[in-house]
């Protein structure tokens, strides 16, 4: 309907209608506001959508793939994600470990990023020297693949040579200095170890918090508190 929303001066397909008969990828599903979650649940359960301005429902057949960096089981316990929507989405779950746990993937990812960036700039992709690969693999990459991608884009801007060695990598000196100062922080080391143990306990129990708390030998309330604390970091 014309004027129903900004830009509604012509017919537009919604995402589900456009993906009818195919696959729809929903990134960062954990960020979906609570008031919109029932609407998504209804589409997934009924296979029907009502386009803006329409009076009739339209049938859609869409396979949904959703991704998130959040622990949705924890989010449901905290009331930030609907439990029924979680189970409707969680038909097949694929856990992708953080980049720090799979450094063997870094050379392949970097090669892909360099080729794509070089193509955008109309230049030949530079080679990556062995010491540069080792330097990249030694990093923890808290921002995971996105951080690595942005770093390689920065590298392409500052390094115009045919080969990138470790000395050419544009590390943030201020960040490096902060890291050096904090590298001996016992408090931070304990936090990292605690988070890793909680993650492993939840994985071992299939996300069952009661069993995970028993494995960790802490109370269920303490586990809930720690999950809330780490989710807000």
pTM beyond 0.75: the answer is: no
Q: Is 137 helix (H, G, I), strand (E, B) or coil?
A: helix
- List pLDDT tens digits, range 62-114: 999 999 988 899 999 989 999 999 999 999 999 888 898 899 999 999 999 99
In the chain, the DSSP E strands lie at 23-26, 48-49, 58-59, 63-66, 127-128, 163-164
- List pLDDT tens digits, range 130-168: 999 999 998 888 889 999 999 999 999 888 889 999 988
- List pLDDT tens digits, range 29-73: 999 999 999 999 999 999 999 877 777 888 999 999 999 988 899
pLDDT of res. 159: 86
CATH number for domain 186-231, candidates 1.10.10, 1.10.3470, 1.10.287, 1.25.40: 1.10.10
Each domain of the chain, given as residue ranges in start order, spans: 15-89, 99-171, 186-231
Q: Which two tokens stand for residue 147?
A: 């951080």
Q: Which two tokens stand for residue 32?
A: 């979906």
CATH number for domain 15-89, candidates 1.10.10.1100, 3.30.470.20, 3.40.50.300, 2.60.40.420: 3.40.50.300
Does 99-171 carry CATH code 3.30.1370.60? no
- Which is nearest to 30 in space by CA: 94, 73, 88? 73
């Amino acid at each position: 309907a014309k004027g129903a929303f900004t830009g509604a001066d012509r017919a537009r397909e919604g995402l589900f209608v456009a993906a009818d008969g195919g696959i729809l990828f929903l990134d960062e599903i954990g960020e979906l506001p609570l008031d919109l979650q029932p609407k998504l649940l209804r589409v997934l359960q009924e296979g029907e959508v009502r386009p803006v301005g329409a009076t009739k429902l339209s049938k859609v057949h869409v396979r949904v793939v959703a991704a998130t960096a959040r622990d949705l089981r924890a989010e449901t316990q905290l009331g930030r994600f609907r439990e029924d929507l979680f189970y409707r989405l969680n038909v097949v779950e694929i856990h992708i470990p953080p980049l720090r746990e799979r450094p063997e993937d870094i050379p392949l990812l970097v090669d892909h990023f360099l080729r794509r960036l070089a193509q955008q700039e109309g230049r030949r992709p530079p080679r990556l020297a062995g010491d540069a690969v080792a330097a990249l693999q030694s990093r923890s990459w808290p921002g995971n693949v996105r951080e690595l991608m942005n770093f390689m884009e920065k590298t392409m801007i500052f390094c115009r040579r045919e080969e990138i060695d470790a000395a050419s990598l544009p590390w943030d000196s201020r960040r490096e200095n902060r890291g050096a100062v904090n590298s001996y922080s016992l408090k931070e080391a304990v936090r990292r170890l605690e988070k890793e143990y909680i993650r492993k306990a939840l994985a071992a129990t299939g996300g069952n918090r009661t069993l995970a708390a028993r494995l960790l030998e802490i109370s269920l309330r303490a586990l809930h508190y720690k999950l809330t604390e780490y989710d807000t970091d």
